[in-house]
Structure 1
């Protein structure tokens, strides 16, 4: 089958496929803006004669990884008309997308899965867990009186203070999206959203919530606090809505300390996996990753069925990563027998901070001796993955 990079004249047809596959409709007046947005994507498509049968979007983005910015390819809009399904079209598009991202220097990739098991087959793994906290009105109890102030914003009055808080908060985690002002206005806010920023007595912006209030429910889409003073200030702001709402829901990264510090932390908490990640170029990721340098060197033997350039053995230690070049896409030249064996899924989960080597070994997903796994464990810093966005 012939995979093509779609051109501007194909964008409307691509939009119609998305509408059909994902069962939504773009209002006529918003179609020009949607087509303009597609100019920032790379669209891969498969046609049946002149008709579009399947397509996939690659969005050039970036994520924060251990305090640095890594180029990332966001996979979105993967769709096929029903009459073309089960012909291997999506598999071919995904394989080509991985190759395209490698060529573009996007060393990792993220996507929102319709099915986790499906994308695991292609090397993506869970990026992070999110927790949704549901608070009834009777538990909206103020914490200690708080100095400082809160200022509300909308999309129209969006301020740089929110962006700076988000940037600092994101650096505490692995995998958070790098946002510019355009992304904030087009993807974080909707027409009803508000953002409340907490300022301490020194007029420093230290936290924010992005939220909607409707039908006696306060839905907090994001909450980010840089210190405990900001946590208290934002919680007290939420409590100020006690006459307006019956329920408050808060969407948070799993590792955020809310609601531990509340007077009544026994409230409903739902935890679920969210988004998936994949290493596109293993050597570049390993070179950039902040391994603990005092650990003894160790070999890892990596398998990646959809990115042959990743297959092979890597010696990690003494401040460097040495790659044993793969031969014929899968077999290493004189591979050492010692070391641990894993797939691109496990390596992605480890480098993003979702799972530890010892956890994956206990699950039978890493092969090697216990001593070797313990050795690899000591190399990996304590990381916490998180993700707020959707694309």
Structure 2
């Protein structure tokens, strides 16, 4: 058997395979919508006697690296029936999709792992955490009144949310670029509240539900302290309706520190993984802090990548220039690392000093210091799921 494209006549089988593998049931009324959604994805897999037995979905997306947008291949729905597992089908699909991503000029790939060790074998690495905060009614203590106002929004009114989200996303690394369809699915069956400043400009929002005496805030985005207080006080206004509050927050959001009693339950979990697809064009598009470079800056990076062999090169990083050079006679001034380590380093999830301590990176101390100075001090984050 070999990897083949999965066409529309097999989409229902793809849904059934997902149901079996991920142990859920798609309501009949949702099947048509999912079938339409699959038309916007690339689905590949294996057939045995014309039956779909393994599959992988590729989503064509974009992510922010600061102000810049990069093409990102999202991998989802990887599934195999149990009797066909341990035959290398997922490995073959991942190799196939990496080659396809390179051909189509994607710079990076992301996924939510069922197993971190499994995807690490193929070059993906952790780049973002997810923090879930749980509070009780007694934690809902009002802060100083904000100068603006909070208004609840209807499901179809996402324009102001999108504006705020984009401003927030460009301050970070790895946030998803959301189009209108993505927003539509994101806020379906959700409540929304937007904070407007005194000039009636949107400066923050929350997306949430309130049900069975519990409030769940799936997104809390504030562009400043006033917006943060305003949104928090709006949440506190629900104190007569709820016994519990659950929030998903960026781990560096100062909201918790600002609380009168910050010692609330917090769970921080490694979340999404990423992988550079093609190192040279990625480095060429990466927003290095070239202002920190000098004329003498010349960093040599040796990358090892078992499953994308085109990345097994030595890359010369000079001000505004990326070159592939022959292997030098000596590795004395080389920075040597895997594609996993390069990904987590450039996305800001781990520092060079930390990775060296873990023996995930080796090289000349001066070169490591120079590289560290060129990497923007952005925090990686990923709010979405696929």
| TM band (smaller chain) | over 0.9
Name the counterpart of 1:314.
315
Q: How does 1:37-186 map onto structure 2 within 5 Å?
A: 37-155=37-155, 157-186=156-185
Q: How does 1:348-387 map onto structure 2 within 5 Å?
A: 348-387=343-382
Q: Distance in 2 between matches of 1:2 and 1:376?
A: 42
SS at match of 1:175: strand
Q: Distance in 2 between matches of 1:275 and 1:159?
A: 25
Deviating more after overlay: 112-121 vs 288-297: 288-297
Q: Distance in 2 between matches of 1:232 and 1:109?
A: 36
Name the counterpart of 1:327.
none
Q: Distance in 1 between matches of 2:382 and 2:80?
A: 27
Cα distance per residue 1:168-222 (max 9 Å; x no partner): 0111110000001210111x1232x101001111111000000011111111000
Cα distance per residue 1:32-81 (max 9 Å; x no partner): 11111000000111111211111100000110112111110000000000
Q: Distance in 2 between matches of 1:14 and 1:336?
A: 51
TM-score, reference length from structure 1: 0.95
Q: Distance in 2 between matches of 1:135 and 1:231?
A: 17
Name the counterpart of 1:300.
301
Q: How does 1:27-46 map onto structure 2 within 5 Å?
A: 27-46=27-46
SS at match of 1:260: helix
Name the counterpart of 1:190.
188
Q: How many Å apart are 1:335 and its aligned residue?
A: 6.1
Name the counterpart of 2:219.
222
Alignment of 1:236 onto 2:237: no
Q: How many Å apart are 1:375 and its aligned residue?
A: 2.6
Q: Distance in 2 between matches of 1:292 and 1:142?
A: 41
Name the counterpart of 1:329.
none
SS at match of 2:173: coil
Alignment of 1:200 onto 2:197: yes
Q: Distance in 2 between matches of 1:149 and 1:379?
A: 40
Q: How many Å apart are 1:369 and its aligned residue?
A: 3.0
Q: Distance in 1 between matches of 2:329 and 2:341?
A: 20
Gaps of 5+ in 2: none
Work out the number of aligned pairs and report it.
381
Q: How does 1:280-291 map onto structure 2 within 5 Å?
A: 280-291=277-288
Q: Distance in 1 between matches of 2:146 and 2:174?
A: 32
RMSD over aligned Cα, in angstroms?
1.3
Given that residues 56 and 77 in structure 1 are in contact (C-alpha distance below 8 angstroms), is that contact kept between their aligned partners in structure 2? yes
Alignment of 1:344 onto 2:339: yes
SS at match of 2:181: helix
Q: Distance in 1 between matches of 2:319 and 2:226?
A: 41
Given that residues 313 and 335 in structure 1 are in contact (C-alpha distance below 8 angstroms), is that contact kept between their aligned partners in structure 2? no
Q: Distance in 2 between matches of 1:23 and 1:335?
A: 54
SS at match of 1:146: coil
SS at match of 1:259: helix
Cα distance per residue 1:96-127 (max 9 Å; x no partner): 11111111111101101111111111111112
Deviating more after overlay: 120-129 vs 249-258: 249-258
Given that residues 146 and 227 in structure 2 are in contact (C-alpha distance below 8 angstroms), is that contact kept between their aligned partners in structure 1? no
Q: Distance in 1 between matches of 2:328 and 2:356?
A: 25
Gaps of 5+ in 1: 325-331
Q: Distance in 2 between matches of 1:22 and 1:220?
A: 25
Q: How does 1:237-252 map onto structure 2 within 5 Å?
A: 237-252=234-249
TM-score, reference length from structure 2: 0.96
Indicate how the Cα distance of structure 1 residues 227 and 16 shifts in structure 2: closer, same or farther if over 3 A, else same: same
Q: How many Å apart are 1:242 and its aligned residue?
A: 0.6
Given that residues 125 and 349 in structure 1 are in contact (C-alpha distance below 8 angstroms), is that contact kept between their aligned partners in structure 2? yes
Cα distance per residue 1:105-159 (max 9 Å; x no partner): 111011011111111111111121121111211111111122221111232x323
Indicate how the Cα distance of structure 1 residues 287 and 11 shifts in structure 2: closer, same or farther if over 3 A, else same: same
Flag as ranges the 4+ runs of structure 1 deviating above 6 A.
none
Q: Distance in 2 between matches of 1:273 and 1:166?
A: 22
